[in-house]
Amino acid sequence: MEMNEYLMARMRSLPEKFHIIVDDPEYVNACFWYVPKRLRSMRHNSEREHLLGEVTPIIKQKMMEKGTLMIGYQPQGDIPNFFRNIISNPAVKKADVDFLVSEIDRIGEDL
């Protein structure tokens, strides 16, 4: 399975934790927010998007400090900061994607 597709499948299996912004399996970028515990029961609206957009750079900073992952983020129009993950290295394995998912979850769940 192509690794971006695998990442999308992993995130789709955890909808309370990963909010996919562009749900197209053929898309090469995985665009998503990570949803910390405190925001999981909140209805999805512009206020929640704003809060998710605040969480995104904090997760990025913690990833960089620990040196485990480097995933870009950006806003797009009215959409606040979200992760835009691109897997371009053919050496990336499912275990690497599993690590990405678990590491974001570990860093972000209590933010």
- What residue ranges bind ligand NCCCC(=O)O (CB under 6 A)? 60, 72-74
Q: Could you tell me the smallest distance in angstroms from the CB atom of residue 50 to ligand NCCCC(=O)O?
A: 17
Nearer to ligand NCCCC(=O)O, 32 or 73 (CB): 73
Burial of residue 103, with CB atoms counted within 10 A of its CB: 0-12 exposed, 13-18 middle, 19 or more buried: middle
Nearer to ligand NCCCC(=O)O, 4 or 81 (CB): 81
Q: Could you tell me the smallest distance in angstroms from the CB atom of residue 81 to ligand NCCCC(=O)O?
A: 8
Nearer to ligand NCCCC(=O)O, 18 or 83 (CB): 83
Residue whose C-beta lies closest to ligand NCCCC(=O)O: 72
